[in-house]
């Protein structure tokens, strides 16, 4: 509400971590507890006004029966006062009910917003170790449906249970005032109603889940059929597919029927319970009225009040069952929240006691590996074994070796995606672990073989993460240097074209060049490059190569390569196998040595000869 000071849209939900889930939910309400209290208070006022409406009804009925005028003056005056009373009470009841609803929505939506913000931020700050072992689908499931059921708790249960209890207490108190015997007689069946509705909602929730599961099965069948239409047609399997769908569709119909049958039994049966409870109360109240124990006007007032006593109880069962769903979801969310974040700004390397600044203190890029080893977990095998080498600022290191040799794991140590477990890595003479991660990562550019692009425009993908405003001509300059500008111009909306399913799909090589453009803008001191070009035509390959060479200038570069061609010019070549460096040196040195490097080199030069041989053979077949 406007009158309330704005509450931050970010909240550290680690403060809500606890084993006791209800307490956890209570802590999540921080800053909004006052609003909730006010919402509940408003509900109470609203319920009170509703109750008073019926009391006023009693006065009105008794008035026209001529017993006595409740207010001084003429009958007409009395009637006008009563009429205005009804309107006034309705305004109070409605007004407060609105205030309560609005406050509840304000709180529930506010809590949900900051929960979403927190989870988003928290997840992107969790370590690589966590991300690599957690499937995306599982995380998405939690941040969507579990957040939804927590939101439902705050939106409905946190206020709905209060609403039902207030209605119950206030109306019971009012009836108690009329006659305590009548009050007791009016609530005999309530425990039964509550028990039955609890049992039913628990049961029906399970049945509904089964129904939903089948719905999911059916859509999988449908989706596979639609995406596999060529296979279906080529094997002429239309009838088979129809039968398969029919089976799933019919099963869904049956499960739906079971689920709905439960509803069709619960509601009328609970109607009978509630209806006979009311009837019992009516007869009791009527007899009291006939015997003069209560006024005649009290009877219609009672009939009005008792409705709000009994019927809401059916919904209390639903609310309680849903609360337990909320508690389960809280638990599932807290499993994410309790994960340790990767500290981004902690580090001991500082410039004159102040935090490192990129503009003032860029690294020079001298890197020394000193007996570096790395393993993912204690006791697991070493992924990097005892690697030592050094490189001057602006120099280039090429890593050659097969898949799984440890090339990627080695370069992942530089931005501190993973921490080396033994030895030292020195950057400009200081221990790498002492540099703040954020600072370090801004100094390092990474160009992957097939980089991940985001579904936003190509222009935005190029400026993504550059960390400053970039003018359009600067973007284009980078794109030209990365040999992607001309390609972008062929897209329908140029630089504004969306990447992904709603726009254009880029090939692996194109994605790589977008990443090159981005890295040029970022202008890092250290560059990590995956140079395993996939099957692209020669022309494109030459373009990519040119772009990469431009990028490497004046930067300390790490190249991951599979081919001699891309490593020949490096200042230092590391031939890797199973996490260890098996050969090291410049191209000329390695070629001169009797080793694997020369074998690979020989093989590659032999390819051209082999091709000529083959063409010659073709001629012989004439």
**Which 230-259 positions form the footprint of other proteins (CB under 8 A)?**
230-238, 240-242, 245-246, 249-250, 252-253, 256-257
Q: What is the CA radius of gyration of the chain?
A: 37
Min separation Cβ 596 and other proteins, Å: 5
User: How far is it, in rounded angstroms, from Cα 350 to Cα 329?
Assistant: 43
Min separation Cβ 191 and other proteins, Å: 20
Min separation Cβ 20 and other proteins, Å: 28
Task: Find the binder of other proteins among 5, 72, 226, 471 (CB under 8 A).
Answer: 226
Min separation Cβ 450 and other proteins, Å: 12
Under rule CB under 8 A, residue 505 binds other proteins: no
Tokens linked to 373: 């080893």
Reduce the DSSP state of residue 172 to 3 states and report it.
Answer: helix
**Percent helix, percent strand, percent coil in the chain, to nearest 5:** 65, 10, 25
Min separation Cβ 19 and other proteins, Å: 27
User: How far is it, in rounded angstroms, from Cα 446 to Cα 525?
Assistant: 11
Could you write out the DSSP letters of every residue in 104-139? HHHHHHHHHHHHHHHHHHHHHTB-HHHHHHS-HHHH
- The conformation of residue 154, written as its DSSP 8-state character, comes to I
- Rank residues 222 and 368 by Cβ distance to other proteins and give the closer one: 222
Min separation Cβ 177 and other proteins, Å: 19
**Contacts with other proteins in 384-443 (CB under 8 A)?**
401-403, 405, 415, 417, 438, 441-442
- Rank residues 23 and 138 by Cβ distance to other proteins and give the closer one: 138
Task: Find the binder of other proteins among 562, 572, 579, 590 (CB under 8 A).
Answer: 562
* 367-375 and 422-427 beta bridge pairing: antiparallel
Task: Find the binder of other proteins among 17, 73, 94, 355 (CB under 8 A).
Answer: 94
Tokens linked to 524: 């890092």
Min separation Cβ 413 and other proteins, Å: 13
Min separation Cβ 377 and other proteins, Å: 20
- Rank residues 87 and 188 by Cβ distance to other proteins and give the closer one: 87
**Contacts with other proteins in 508-547 (CB under 8 A)?**
522, 535, 537-538
Q: Which of 150, 145, 123, 120 is nearest to 134 (CA)?
A: 123
**Contacts with other proteins in 15-44 (CB under 8 A)?**
none
Tokens linked to 620: 């012989």
Min separation Cβ 139 and other proteins, Å: 6
Which residues on adjacent β-strands are paired with residue 373? 422
Sketch the per residue contact string, 439 through 468, with other proteins: x for CB under 8 A, - otherwise: --xx-x-x----xx-xx--------xxxx-
Min separation Cβ 436 and other proteins, Å: 10
Q: What is the 3-state secondary structure (H, E, C) of 239-260?
A: HHHHHHHHHHHHHHHHHHHHHH
Contact at 8 Å (CB) between 517 and 484? yes
- Rank residues 392 and 610 by Cβ distance to other proteins and give the closer one: 610
**Contacts with other proteins in 59-88 (CB under 8 A)?**
60-61, 63-65, 75-76, 78-80, 82-84, 86-87
Min separation Cβ 500 and other proteins, Å: 8
Under rule CB under 8 A, residue 140 binds other proteins: yes
Min separation Cβ 393 and other proteins, Å: 21
Q: Which of 178, 161, 163, 189 is nearest to 303 (CA)?
A: 178
Sketch the per residue contact string, 280 through 309, with other proteins: x for CB under 8 A, - otherwise: --xx--xx-xx-----xx-xx--xx-----
Edge-to-edge strands of the sheet including 430-431? 382-391, 367-375, 422-427, 430-431
Provide the strand spans (E) within 467-591.
526-530, 556-561, 572-577, 580-585
User: How far is it, in rounded angstroms, from Cα 552 to Cα 524?
Assistant: 10
Span of 219-227, 362-370, 427-435, 547-555 interacting with other proteins by CB under 8 A: 219-227
User: How far is it, in rounded angstroms, from Cα 511 to Cα 275?
Assistant: 69
**Contacts with other proteins in 168-207 (CB under 8 A)?**
none
Residue with tokens 């160009």: 447
Long-range contacts from 584-590, C-beta under 8 angstroms, 24+ separation: 584/389
Task: Find the binder of other proteins among 67, 121, 493, 589 (CB under 8 A).
Answer: 121
User: How far is it, in rounded angstroms, from Cα 407 to Cα 422?
Assistant: 17
With contacts defined by CB under 8 A, how many residues of the chain interact with other proteins?
Answer: 162
Contact at 8 Å (CB) between 106 and 55? no
- Rank residues 21 and 245 by Cβ distance to other proteins and give the closer one: 245
Task: Find the binder of other proteins among 265, 355, 489, 542 (CB under 8 A).
Answer: 265
Provide the strand spans (E) within 442-545.
444-447, 526-530
Task: Find the binder of other proteins among 18, 205, 225, 386 (CB under 8 A).
Answer: 225
Under rule CB under 8 A, residue 102 binds other proteins: yes
Main-chain phi, psi angles of 60, to 5 degrees: -65, -45
């Amino acid at each position: 509400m406007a009158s309330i000071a704005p509450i931050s849209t970010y909240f550290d939900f680690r403060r809500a971590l606890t084993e006791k889930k209800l307490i956890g939910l209570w802590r999540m309400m921080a800053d909004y507890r006052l609003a909730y209290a006010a919402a509940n208070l408003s509900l109470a006022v609203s319920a009170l006004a509703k109750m008073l409406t019926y009391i006023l009804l009693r006065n009105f009925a008794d008035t026209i029966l001529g017993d006595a005028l409740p207010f001084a003056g003429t009958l007409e005056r009395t009637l006008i006062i009563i009429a205005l009373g009804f309107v006034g009470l309705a305004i109070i009841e409605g007004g407060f009910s609105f205030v309560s609803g609005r406050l509840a929505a304000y709180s529930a939506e506010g809590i949900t917003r900051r929960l979403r913000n927190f989870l988003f931020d928290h997840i992107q700050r969790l370590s690589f170790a966590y991300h690599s072992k957690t499937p995306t689908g599982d995380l998405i499931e939690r941040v969507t449906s579990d957040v939804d059921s927590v939101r439902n708790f705050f939106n409905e249960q946190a206020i709905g249970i209060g609403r039902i209890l207030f209605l119950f207490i206030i109306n019971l108190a009012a009836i108690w005032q009329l006659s305590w015997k009548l009050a007791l007689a009016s609530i005999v069946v309530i425990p039964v109603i509550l028990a039955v509705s609890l049992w039913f909602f628990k049961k029906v929730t399970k049945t509904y889940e089964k129904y939903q599961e089948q719905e999911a099965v059916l859509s999988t069948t449908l989706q596979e059929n639609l995406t596999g239409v060529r296979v279906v047609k080529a094997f002429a399997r239309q009838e088979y597919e129809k039968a398969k769908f029919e089976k799933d569709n019919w099963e869904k119909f049956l499960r739906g029927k079971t689920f709905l049958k439960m509803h069709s039994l619960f509601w009328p049966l609970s109607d009978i319970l509630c209806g006979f409870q009311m009837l019992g109360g009516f007869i009791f109240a009527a007899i009291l009225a006939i015997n003069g124990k209560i006024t005649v006007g009290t009877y219609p007032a009672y009939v009005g009040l008792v409705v709000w006593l009994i019927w809401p109880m059916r919904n209390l069962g639903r609310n309680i069952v849903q609360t337990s769903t909320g508690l389960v979801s809280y638990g599932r969310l807290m499993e994410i929240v309790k994960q340790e974040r990767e500290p981004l700004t902690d580090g001991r390397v500082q410039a004159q006691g102040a935090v490192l600044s990129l503009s003032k203190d860029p690294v020079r890029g001298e890197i020394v590996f000193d007996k570096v080893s790395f393993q993912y977990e204690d006791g697991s095998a070493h992924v990097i074994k005892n690697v030592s080498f050094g490189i001057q600022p602006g120099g280039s290191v090429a890593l050659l070796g097969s898949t799984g040799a440890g090339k990627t794991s080695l370069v992942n140590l530089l931005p501190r995606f993973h921490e080396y477990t033994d030895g030292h890595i020195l950057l400009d003479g200081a221990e790498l672990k002492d540099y703040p991660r954020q600072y370090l990562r801004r100094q390092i550019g990474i160009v992957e073989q097939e980089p991940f692009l985001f579904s936003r425009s190509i222009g935005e993908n190029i400026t993504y993460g550059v960390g400053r405003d970039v003018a359009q001509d600067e973007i284009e300059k980078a794109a030209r240097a990365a040999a992607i500008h001309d390609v972008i111009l062929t897209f329908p909306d140029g630089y504004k074209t969306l990447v992904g399913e709603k726009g254009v799909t880029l090939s692996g090589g194109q994605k790589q060049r977008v990443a090159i453009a981005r890295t040029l803008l970022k202008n890092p001191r250290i560059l990590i490059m995956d140079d395993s070009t996939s099957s692209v035509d020669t022309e494109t390959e030459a373009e990519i190569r040119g772009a990469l060479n431009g990028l490497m200038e004046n930067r300390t570069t790490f190249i991951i390569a599979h081919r001699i061609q891309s490593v020949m010019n490096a200042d230092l070549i590391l031939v890797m196998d199973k996490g260890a460096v098996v050969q090291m040196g410049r191209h000329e040195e390695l070629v001169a040595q009797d080793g694997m490097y020369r074998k690979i080199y020989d093989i590659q030069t032999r390819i051209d000869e082999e091709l000529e041989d083959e063409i010659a053979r073709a001629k012989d077949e004439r």
